[in-house]
Amino acid sequence: MTYDIIFSSRKTLAIEITKDAKVLVRAPYRYPKNRIENFVSTHTDWIEKHLKRRLEKNNKSYEPTDEELALLKEKAREIIPQKVQYYANLMGVEPSGIGYTYAKTRFGSCSIKRKLNFSCRLMLYPDEAIDYVVVHELAHIRHMNHSKSFWSFVEKTLPDYKERRKLLR
């Protein structure tokens, strides 16, 4: 799990989920990083629960402007091809191409011709969620359905796919 640390003259540790769905840890100056890591790992359930809530709230109340959508599309074009290449190699599949949409509810799709499409709105979610959508769509190259074989194929690459999928809800 990724998080940022802010050191200050406080006396205790605190975890905050920011408005842009980032995890922020506030710690006293010179507090040992290994103790911060331990603190975060013992609060993983709380973090995931509140991160999910924040994402839901953000998605319900926030509609990007045209300019923001254009920036999200740029970001998607930078990030997604690398992830697709990495996971495609890992999974032994090969897409024929990648496209980008502004879809609000469909984060990704895979055509019968093996072309993958991703919504640029996916960039509003954590990396773990983006990786899940990439692996999900790549799995459709091998299984064009949601059968047990499909989910087993996804699970081989992302054993925690169920948790990652929850980040999108």
The helix (H) or strand (E) run that includes residue 133 is helix 127-142
Task: For the chain, state the CA radius of gyration.
Answer: 18
Per-block mean pLDDT, blocks of 10 residues, the chain (169 long): 94 93 95 95 94 80 84 96 97 97 92 96 94 98 96 97 91
Answer whether 120's CB lies under 8 Å from 76's CB. yes
**Cα 134 from Cα 158, distance rounded (Å):** 11
Question: pTM here?
Answer: 0.64
Name the token pair of 43: 């609060």
What span, in angstroms and rounded, lies between the C-alpha atoms of 79 and 73?
A: 10
How far apart are alpha carbons 101 and 94 in whole angstroms?
21
In this prediction, residue 54 carries a pLDDT of: 86
Q: What is the model's pLDDT at position 168?
A: 87
Quote the distance between the C-alpha of residue 90 and its chain's center: 18
Are 93 and 141 in contact, with CB atoms under 8 Å apart? Answer: yes
Query: What's the pLDDT at 85?
Result: 98
Q: What is the DSSP letter of 118?
A: E
Amino acid at the residue 9: S
Q: Where do the domains of the chain lie? A: 4-61, 66-166
SS3 32: coil
- Burial of residue 20 (CB within 10 Å: 0-12, 13-18, 19+) is exposed
Instruction: Give the per-residue pLDDT at 63.
Output: 78
The predicted structure's pLDDT at residue 28: 96
* Beta carbons of 140 and 110 less than 8 angstroms apart: yes
Q: What is the pLDDT of residue 107?
A: 95
pLDDT value of residue 53:
86
CATH topology of domain 66-166: Zincin-like (3.30.2010)
